[in-house]
Structure 1
Amino acid sequence: MLAIYLAALDSADNAEAFEAVYERYKRLVYHVACQIVHDPHLAEDVAQEVFLYIAKNFARLHRQDPHKFAAYLVSCTRSRAFLLLAQRQDAPGEEEPDLDRNADPAPVPEDAVIDEQQAQHLMQAVQQLAPIYRDPLRLLAQGYTYREIAAALALRESTVRQRIARGRKLLWKELHDER
């Protein structure tokens, strides 16, 4: 596969630098894709798309700070993975990856403001939200900006802001109506 990427490069110097980048970041890109698509084969497809894009634009991209470049790769991978999932959901007759929705939620830190029961209730409330509200809220909770969320979900930034606001309102209503 590396040969295909190298063919997209324009010089031998870039080929050596790209090989180093590929070896350094291939596991990171695959891991991020696998976390999103939950299918090793689809994760490989996403990784291939990302590295092909990087190879085509390598002369412009490889001069970045290594930390910024790694962050860019993660952002690019997430965007392509979410786009792939959206395309698969829109395509009739294709199975979507087996997402384990009943997996145990992350443990609550001991110094959390809410107790474990409230955290479990919050996690259940988030899981019950429609995906159009749940996905942007989860990405926001992971530290992504509205612009990055919009790019990852192939939406306008204003749409992302509106869905997050509506999702928060639904969560607030769910959590305060039961008390």
Structure 2
Amino acid sequence: MSDTFNNIDLIRSLQEKDDVSAFNVIFTRYHQIIYHNICKLVHNPAAAEDILQEVFTSMWQLRTSLDPLKPVANWLFVVSFNKSMSWLKKNIREAKKLEEAFGHAMNEQVQLPVTTEPDYEGKLQMLERLIKQLPVRKRTAFVLHKLEGKSYNEVGELLGISPDTVKEYVKDSNKLLKQHVAKTGGLNIVNGIAPLILFLTH
């Protein structure tokens, strides 16, 4: 059974049966990569644990709105990013610290959006639209590594290519996504997607 089919089956079970075991499978599969991404943003392990819990609580509460045909990893990434940004906006007031949280990926003029539940869908659709523009093989490697949390070796085994080739695919995908952000208005792109893309490709 493929990962894609598993995800479809899990989400449908979550929606139709309120299946806690399906929820636990999704949590086990993705909590480490989501926690890792949150930590990179907030630099606070205790806060990251709290945000992680909020993310999966939101997934349970909003389970009926999830699209079984779309990767749940994308949804988790967007929601965790939004919640992390809310924490930063609340707890980090100095622009310098905010820049450091992004590894200086953004300049001081970036306007970070206020996080609201309806904003998830807009960011998710934009993220998926951008990723779909990548060449198929590079897109697959990028998603497996960046969103699914698989290592270069694991992705290489799945795709039948070397880890070095996977690394190059991911590097090329990072470059292509950043170029697209630049072409569509730099850091002031609609729905606050630019900060999310810059973080994803950092």
TM-score (norm 1): 0.47
TM-score (norm 2): 0.43
Q: Larger radius of gyration, structure 1 or 2?
A: 1
